[in-house]
Structure 1
């Protein structure tokens, strides 16, 4: 489990992370989303002890990362796949990590096989690797200690479609075995497919948190009746705001029961009454971060 409480980071006058609190539970993949500059990477660096917080705490498995005994065996971390020694081979990179964390050398071959790096590729210098190969090596390093928790920042960068699907299956299986996954990515379609919970951050603060299904479920009701004008008036009289639709009927933020009671009180026969349905993650993301995005579309 990851528990973040009132995590704050200030760089002089800049408030990079502002009172962030959330949990990532075992057995679930938690998607950590936000536009560029929102504070995701800074928050993840604080969780893994690389950046000291100005205030607040981040605990992994009940303790700060640095207080864990041999944290490399408990927490697998990938924050920057480019931060690998270019002069070492892939196998040397993993062998050194295995030595430092006390992992048996047999794990090097096991994780290389898991991430799909061949013996020939593992014997090449990291400087010759493509971005996708660096990502696979970084994921291998995160898995090396057989951790209970994975913290991954943009792990799908550079992966081809087959690689992205492989990573999706890997994270699902890891969580299904009781592991905790915190995943940051700009690939919203992938987050939508793999995440169980979502935490959305904008300008350093949490703007939404909850299960994926709850957050993607569009609130409100669509209703159609034999006399939409009368039902419109009845809803407004009951304090329910409505929006007429060009094809007939209207939508409202009220739930179906509230609309049904208004129709009953007005003696109007309702012919269609349903939830407005679900929205996609991209729509939700843009809605929640519209005021926080650094890139603005000019007219």
Structure 2
């Protein structure tokens, strides 16, 4: 489990992370989302002891990361797959990770196999790896001690579609076995498919959090019709809630039920779709809000 309470980081007058509180629970994948510069990476660095908080706490498995005995044995971390030593081979990189975690050399081969890197690829120098291969190597290093918690920043970056599908399955399996996954990513479609919980951050502050179902809840059926007032009345008579708006109406009836009522009442329907906000729409809205605030501050 990861428990974040009132976590704050200031650099002079600039607040990078502003009093955020959330929990990443065992057995679940938590998506940590927001525009570039929102504070995600700074928050994750505080979780693993690379940056000291100005205020608040970040506890992993109930303790400060740096106070854990052999932290890499309990927490797998991948914050920047491109930061690996270019002169080492993949196998040498993982051997060092295994040594630091107190794991036997046999764990290296198991980790390579787990992430799909062949012995030949493991013998190449990291400087000759593609970004996708570096991502796999970084994930192997995070998993080498079979930790209870994974903290991953953009783990799918550089992976091809097959690699993304593979990673999705791997993290689902890890969480299903009781592990805690905190996943930062800009690949919103992938996060929407894999994460059960979502934490969205903008300009250092949490702007939305909850389960995927809560945040992306389907709010009913949107109906376009020049006869929307009459259609709303007909839907209410049929036992459904219906609220006319300026250009549409929203109802608890399904699309099929709306069509049946409209047909029976000889009313025209010009548009019919389910409501609810997709993750991409939420993300774009956050980005737009950040951009407007930045422009306002720059003009002040």
TM-score (norm 2): 0.83
Unaligned runs of 5+ in 2: 237-241, 254-264, 296-300
More helix by share: 2
- How has the CA–CA distance of structure 1 residues 196 and 58 changed in structure 2, closer, same or farther, with 3 Å as cutoff? same
Question: Residue by residue, what CA displacement relative to the aligned partner does 1:194-232 show, whole Å, maximum 9, x if unpaired?
Answer: 0000000000000000000110114466579x9826968
Distance apart, 1:283 and its partner CA: 1.1
1:135 partnered with 2:140: no
SS in 2 for 1:104: coil
Root-mean-square deviation (Å): 2.7
- How has the CA–CA distance of structure 1 residues 96 and 136 changed in structure 2, closer, same or farther, with 3 Å as cutoff? same
Distance apart, 1:190 and its partner CA: 0.4
Could you tell me how far apart the structure 1 residues matched to 2:232 and 2:180 are? Answer: 49
Could you tell me how far apart the structure 1 residues matched to 2:23 and 2:107 are? Answer: 30
CA contact (8 A) 2:34 2:286 kept: no
Distance apart, 1:293 and its partner CA: 4.4
- How has the CA–CA distance of structure 1 residues 75 and 123 changed in structure 2, closer, same or farther, with 3 Å as cutoff? same
Name the count of aligned residue pairs: 271
Match of 1:286 in 2: 284
Mean CA deviation greater in 138-147 or 93-102: 93-102
SS in 2 for 1:290: helix
1:277 partnered with 2:275: yes
CA contact (8 A) 1:35 1:293 kept: no
Residues 1-299 of structure 1 correspond to what in structure 2 (within 5 A)?
1-219=1-219, 222=222, 228=229, 242-245=244-247, 250-251=249-250, 276-293=274-291
CA contact (8 A) 1:202 1:293 kept: no
Could you tell me how far apart the structure 2 residues matched to 1:227 and 1:137 are? Answer: 57
- How has the CA–CA distance of structure 1 residues 124 and 286 changed in structure 2, closer, same or farther, with 3 Å as cutoff? same
TM-score (norm 1): 0.83
Could you tell me how far apart the structure 2 residues matched to 1:14 and 1:126 are? Answer: 36
- How has the CA–CA distance of structure 1 residues 230 and 28 changed in structure 2, closer, same or farther, with 3 Å as cutoff? closer
Match of 1:264 in 2: none
Distance apart, 1:51 and its partner CA: 0.3
- How has the CA–CA distance of structure 1 residues 279 and 152 changed in structure 2, closer, same or farther, with 3 Å as cutoff? same
Could you tell me how far apart the structure 1 residues matched to 2:231 and 2:139 are? Answer: 61
Could you tell me how far apart the structure 1 residues matched to 2:38 and 2:228 are? Answer: 48
SS in 2 for 1:292: helix
Could you tell me how far apart the structure 2 residues matched to 1:229 and 1:58 are? Answer: 55
Question: Residue by residue, what CA displacement relative to the aligned partner does 1:119-146 show, whole Å, maximum 9, x if unpaired?
Answer: 0110111111111111000000000111
CA contact (8 A) 2:232 2:244 kept: no
CA contact (8 A) 2:228 2:244 kept: no
Distance apart, 1:7 and its partner CA: 0.4
- How has the CA–CA distance of structure 1 residues 222 and 39 changed in structure 2, closer, same or farther, with 3 Å as cutoff? same
Question: Residue by residue, what CA displacement relative to the aligned partner does 1:43-69 show, whole Å, maximum 9, x if unpaired?
Answer: 000001000000000000000100111
CA contact (8 A) 2:75 2:150 kept: yes
